[in-house]
Amino acid sequence: MTRTCSGQRSYGERFLAGEWGKGLLLEYVFLEVVTVIMLRLDLAAANRTGRILLEAEELEFAPCSDFFLETLNGFSRQDGTRLSFVDAALAHAAHTRADGQILTFDAEFRKLPSIRVQNP
């Protein structure tokens, strides 16, 4: 178990312990992850990774077509940030489904006033 300097469990450990419920695996993130793995490794590795992600008890798969237009709007209207479309979808999901909380290393999310960033 990893502890922070203050002796507390890391955010990643707290997530895996279910402290905040299940994590959201957005369709866009899934697509991005398996595509990069296929390009960098091979199709078999991408398929294995995809199955692991979809079967993980800690994650809830979230189709994105339901909020595509809201994501497009947020992506198009961003001011002072440089979020990718996938990141705009993550911000929208965090805002609407996770009370604004997101676990990420990406500093761009800290520029969004409605998002509370926790480092994993």
For residues 58 and 21, give the distance between their C-alpha atoms in angstroms, rounded to a whole number. Answer: 8
The per-residue pLDDT for range 47-72, each reduced to its tens digit, is 999 999 999 998 999 888 888 889 88
For residues 2 and 65, give the distance between their C-alpha atoms in angstroms, rounded to a whole number. Answer: 37
Which residue ranges make up each domain of the chain? 11-118
For residues 113 and 96, give the distance between their C-alpha atoms in angstroms, rounded to a whole number. Answer: 14
Output the CATH code of domain 11-118: 3.40.50.1010
The per-residue pLDDT for range 1-16, each reduced to its tens digit, is 455 555 677 877 887 7
Tell me which of 1-10, 87-96, 101-110 is least confident.
1-10
pLDDT for the residue 6: 59
In the chain the first and final C-alpha atoms are separated, in Å, by 14
DSSP state of 14: H
Per-residue pLDDT band for 108 (boundaries 50, 70, 90) equals: very high
DSSP state of 100: T
Distances (CA, A) of 76 to 38, 48, 57, 88, 108: 29, 34, 34, 9, 15
Q: Calculate mean pLDDT across residues 77-88.
A: 87
pTM metric for this prediction: 0.61
pLDDT for the residue 53: 93
Over 90: is that where the pLDDT of 23 sits?
no
Over 90: is that where the pLDDT of 97 sits?
no
Give 103: exposed, middle or buried? Use CB within 10 Å, 0-12, 13-18, 19+.
Answer: middle
Average pLDDT over the chain reads 86
Pair 24, 93: CB distance under 8 Å: yes
